[in-house]
Amino acid sequence: MNIILWIIFGAIVGWLASIIMGSGHGIVWDIILGIIGALLGGFIMNALGSQGVTGFNLYSFIVAIVGAMIIIWIGRIFHRNTA
């Protein structure tokens, strides 16, 4: 995917993950969260022997949302331990 599609994909995925997890921090954070979530979700799926993010499709959205939700969860653990 080119950079514009990654930004759109990341914004949608990050926004959905932040709604599901209840942690809205703004559009820039949502884009970053979505892109990193897609990378993490793809890495996890590849490690499990399945395909990672394959493009702009439903399967990739699910993989990326799960990855973004994991990142939010890890962030909460670190935030809780530092506060």
CA 46 to chain centre: 15
Q: 83: pLDDT confidence band, cut at 50, 70 and 90? A: low
Whether the CB-CB separation of 42 and 53 falls below 8 Å is answered with yes
Q: 7: pLDDT confidence band, cut at 50, 70 and 90? A: confident
Query: Poorest-confidence range of 26-35, 36-45, 62-71?
Result: 26-35
Residue 26 has pLDDT above 80, yes or no: no
Residue 25 has pLDDT above 80, yes or no: no
**According to the model, what pLDDT value does residue 1 have?**
53
Report the pLDDT averaged over residues 39-49.
Answer: 88
